[in-house]
Amino acid sequence: MHAELQLQKGYLKEPVETIYFGGGTPSVIGAGEIQKLLDSISSLNTVSNNAEITLEANPDDLSQENVKALKQTQINRFSIGIQSFFEEDLRWMNRAHNASEAESSVKRAQDAGFENITIDLIYGYPLLSNEKWKSNIRKAIELEVPHISAYSMTVEDKTALANAIRKGKQPKMNESQSAEQFLILMEMLEEAGFEHYEISNFAKPGCYSRHNSNYWKGIPYLGIGPSAHSFNGNTRHWDIPNNAKYIDSLLKGQIPSETEILTQENKLNEYIMTSLRTIWGMDLMKVEADFGSDYRKLVTSAMEEFLDKGWINIHENIVRLTKEGKLFADNIAAELFVDTEN
């Protein structure tokens, strides 16, 4: 990764405002290696003095010793993959940590002086009753973390769970259960003072993830490592997912990636998808200014159905999803996508 950082120097406009170690379990490599990567980034780029630097971590990686070591690095934010506070649910998900570690990992990080913490929770799976889901949310609130990300369970192809469902050994995911638990989530976190600033993300005022926010606002980013994606506003590129080929390419001084040049319609559809998911909404004036009045007309014409259903509202040219509309965010965005070639 150090080699790719060198090859990608100059990709981003400086200064760098956020750094995010994620896409797996980066906490397993240790504080020393993480700091070396941060040193490489700083030597090749101007990093803002108040940059948000996040580390994704599994609860079982956050031992007292590791947390203490990470406190000596520039890491200033943790994203902890809790998923659930129930033992049987964690076993069903094949998680490495247990229920006790789920809670204690957050407290260890807080005791070490980390205040900027987000935790991940999952809902919409067969073992999770509404009462258990409410209990998970209450526990997250009690831990006094300023940010919570929550995701509906999805089943990826070619996984053990997908195979078990196909053979009838596990029940299928239930969309109505997921929708009901999403509504419970929104209500409880709103009552607890969290702001729902993106479909899957909730934060106390002033505690939005800057990294997440930049992504949803379409700000360019650079991804380093196998399978990592990058975006500069005009092109998108992604590193090959094969570790051996990735390393071989870097040894030859080549960036191991493929590139897609974005068309105007690609850019518009991406803006529709990302902006609608957020508290900031989709700005119709921006659509017209950046893409033209014809594209604005196409988008506004496609919105009529969702206005009638009460799934979106428009105020001062800003289109936002209603609470009910958030249940159908992806479908609404897809229906608003522009494709003049068909």
* pLDDT tens, residue order, the chain (342 aa): 889 999 999 888 889 999 999 876 777 788 999 999 999 999 999 999 999 999 999 999 999 999 999 999 999 999 999 999 999 999 999 899 999 999 999 999 999 999 999 999 999 999 999 999 999 999 999 999 999 999 999 877 767 777 877 888 788 888 999 999 999 999 999 999 999 999 999 999 999 999 999 999 999 999 999 999 999 999 999 999 999 999 999 999 998 899 999 999 999 999 999 999 999 999 999 999 999 999 999 999 999 999 999 999 999 999 999 999 999 999 999 999 998 765
CA distance 41 to 311: 43
Locate 115 and state its tokens: 């205040």
Among 119, 109, 120, which residue's Cα sits nearest to residue 75?
109
What 8-state DSSP symbol labels residue 172? Answer: P
pLDDT of residue 342: 57
What 8-state DSSP symbol labels residue 29? Answer: G
Cα 131–Cα 212–Cα 101 angle in degrees, nearest 5: 45
CA distance 287 to 218: 13
Give the fold, CATH level 3, of 2-216: Transcription Regulator spoIIAA (3.30.750)
Q: At what angle do helices 64-71 and 99-111 cross, to 10 degrees?
A: 30
Residue ranges of E strands in the chain: 16-21, 47-57, 77-83, 117-123, 147-152, 195-198, 201-203, 229-231, 235-239, 257-261, 282-283, 312-315, 318-321
Domain with CATH 3.30.750.200 in the chain: 2-216
Q: What one-letter code names the amino acid at 311?
A: W
What 8-state DSSP symbol labels residue 241? Answer: S
Domain with CATH 1.10.10.920 in the chain: 264-336
What residues are paired with 151 via a beta bridge?
122
What's domain 264-336's architecture? Orthogonal Bundle (1.10)
The answer to whether the peptide bond before residue 15 is cis (omega within 30 degrees of 0) is: yes
Q: What one-letter code names the amino acid at 283?
A: D
Region for 216 from its dihedrals, namely left if φ exceeds 0, alpha if ψ lies in -120 to 50, beta otherwise: alpha
In contact, 252 and 7? CB cutoff 8 Å: no
Locate 336 and state its tokens: 């608003």
Give percent helix, percent strand, percent coil of the chain, each to the nearest 5.
45, 20, 35
CA distance 86 to 206: 30
CA distance 100 to 82: 11
In contact, 106 and 144? CB cutoff 8 Å: no
